[in-house]
Structure 1
Amino acid sequence: MVARLVTDPQLESPDDFYQALIDAHRGLSTAESHALNARLVLLLANQVGSLAVLQQALDAARRCGEHGGHEAARTDD
């Protein structure tokens, strides 16, 4: 059984997380902000652990960016 990416809302406090993310970037240069994002992605990838799920997330994020909307990230089709 291959693990599947969960795209249904799971974040218990999305507004608080968004604020924390904005706060983490406050005062950083563009390069520092990009480096922070890279470190965050690697930490979260380690938490997920499954290459199959991470690939699904990469594919979903890519589709979302190509189509300009979050619905393109759905994987339950």
Structure 2
Amino acid sequence: MMLNLTPNIPDPDGFYQELIAAHEGMTKEQSDAFNARLILTLANHIGDRDVISQALEAAK
């Protein structure tokens, strides 16, 4: 399977607002920990190591 880099999230602006709101009131350390948990949760959902590796490279 290949990593999908084309826009694929319905209402991306709404998603971005929700993501930013999830960080409200957090310290930098809490925000960093939240991001790490979110990444691991989404990586687990994807489940395909090749796709996850592609995402890591794309994020660089």
Query: Does TM, scored on the shorter chain, surpass 0.5?
Result: yes
The equivalent residue for 1:58 is: 56
Which protein has the larger Cα radius of gyration, Structure 1 or Structure 2? 1
5+ residue gaps, structure 2, are none
Stretches of 4+ aligned residues off by more than 2 angstroms: none
Number of aligned residue pairs: 60
For 1:5, the aligned partner's letter is L
5+ residue gaps, structure 1, are 63-77
In angstroms, what is the RMSD of aligned CA positions?
0.4
What SS does the corresponding residue of 1:26 show, helix, strand or coil? coil
For 1:11, the aligned partner's letter is I
What percentage of residue pairs aligned between the two structures are identical?
48
Alignment of 1:37 with 2:35, yes or no, is yes
**Normalised by the size of structure 2, how large is the TM-score?**
0.98
For 2:57, the aligned partner's letter is D
**Normalised by the size of structure 1, how large is the TM-score?**
0.77
